Amino acid sequence: MITSLFIITIGLLPIVLALNVLRIYKGSELSIALLLFMLSIFLWQIDIAVLYLKGVLPEEMILLLFRLFRMGPTFAVPVTFYLTFLIIKKHAPTFKNATSYKLIQSLFNHKIFSVLVIWSVAVYLLNWTTLGIDHLRIVTVYNSELQLYFPVYGKLHFLYILHTSLVLFLLIFVVIISNGIQNQYLKSFLKTFSLCAILLFVTGFLNFTPGTGAVISSFGVIIFTSIIIFSFVRMNTLMTVKYNRLVERQKKLDYTGDIATSLIHEVRNNLQIVKAYSKLLHKNKTLLKQDRDMVGMIRTATQQLEDLTSSYSEFLSDKTITFHLSDLNGMINEAIDITNELLRENNVKISFEEKYKPLKAYCSEVHLKQVFVNLIKNSCESISADKDRREIVINTNIIGDQITIDVTDTGGGIPIERWESIFDPFISSKTSGMGVGLPFSRKIIFEHRGELKVYKSNNKGTTFRIVLPQYEFSDYL
């Protein structure tokens, strides 16, 4: 009885961990999948614990409970498959080529998952027959007086062993594809989780040997949970620090934008007064021609100021952006298509190598695509007619937990003292330019909790660098 309670108590540890993950990352499908996996471990531990209830419950009841709670290890297979499917779908591990990615997607989809669930149900029902589990017998643990019931398996029990072995293969696969996950924090956590889960299931297979008893897998659960708790706390701490820094920076930007909006509102109110009185003055017949010209200048300057405040309002108006998991490769290629005519007219070549396939991030596809269009357009127009080398190169890279996108041109360069001022609104070196393209682009990248800057520039050309975080802002997992 005491041994049984000990095993059940240990089985609760992963459940408590999973519930905390679910509480912190509400709405995350991956956290739900982790909870289901931990639940299967808990049911597995109960399945083991009932074998130690000799003398507490009748043998028939123990056999019934053993068959019932075997749903834990049995359905761990589709749960692990679902976990792998979510990693591929939601967290975009990169592969060496597109063929590998398509092959993986064809193996991990809803149809295969449905087939695996049906197969798991069939294996589970097999345990309720003598072909799966015939009866129970009493065994004694090596070098001990401890006795427990141990199942006598039927002729088709090998199907159950093959079935549960799939968990090991799936976990090994998770370890492999975790190397391609862009989010470094999640990558580290999933690799640790998978390796510990493999160790856990290896100890579980030792339960098929009668003399070792059934407690050995419980020690595997203790080791598994202890390491996972440490890994989870570490991941949560690092990501929270990073996220809070980004949030603080965005709060400052939003605050500055709110102040600017308030100022524009007050300026507009006073402009209406100036415009109204200037109109009345202009209609005054007693005014001399010189005075009338002065009033006309006031009206012209007032109209210009009103147009300016309208432009600022449009620049600051859109503060809410909806983010989705999207492929940056597709957005860059579409931006190249949009600017293709401009590139052709200016005789500028553009090249973009899809280094990572796919390269996914949580972003607003419409807004981010416009940023790429603006940068390509600016780079194209920066290349003067007398330049022999007329080229734009776009490169992507993953550095730590960030995605970098470099747009390099062969233009005349930007003086270092103007590297920041070019991002100020309504400042343009072009006679026909409004000076809102780069400020708008930087604002959009800031909304993505990222950064847009001049990375390097000289008389041979300029590189603009976009830095984007890899993770979802409201949902780390």
Cα distance between residue 148 and residue 209, in whole Å: 13
Tokens coding 17:
């961990």
Q: Does residue 14 surpass a pLDDT of 90?
A: no
pLDDT band at 121 (very low <50, low <70, confident <90, very high): very high
Tokens 């470099």 sit at which residue?
A: 406
Per the CB < 8 A criterion, the answer to whether 181 and 91 are in contact is: yes
Backbone φ and ψ of 91, nearest 5°: -120, 15
Q: How is 454-477 classified by DSSP, letter by letter? A: EEEEETTEEEEEEEEESS-SS---
- Among 147, 146, 7, 148, CA closest to 72: 7
Stretch 39-65: mean pLDDT: 86
pLDDT tens per residue, range 202-236: 777 666 565 555 556 566 677 776 777 677 667 66
pLDDT tens per residue, range 165-210: 898 888 888 888 877 776 667 777 778 888 888 887 777 766 656 5
Tokens coding 399:
């550095």
Q: Give, for 398, the enclosing helix (H) or strand (E).
A: strand 391-399
Cα-Cα-Cα-Cα torsion 85, 88, 90, 91, nearest 10 degrees, comes to 140
Per the CB < 8 A criterion, the answer to whether 368 and 443 are in contact is: no
Query: 276 exposed, middle or buried (CB, 10 Å; 0-12, 13-18, 19+)?
Result: exposed
pLDDT tens per residue, range 264-286: 666 767 777 777 777 777 777 77
Per the CB < 8 A criterion, the answer to whether 168 and 201 are in contact is: yes
Q: Does residue 150 surpass a pLDDT of 90?
A: no
Q: What is the reported pLDDT for 407?
A: 94
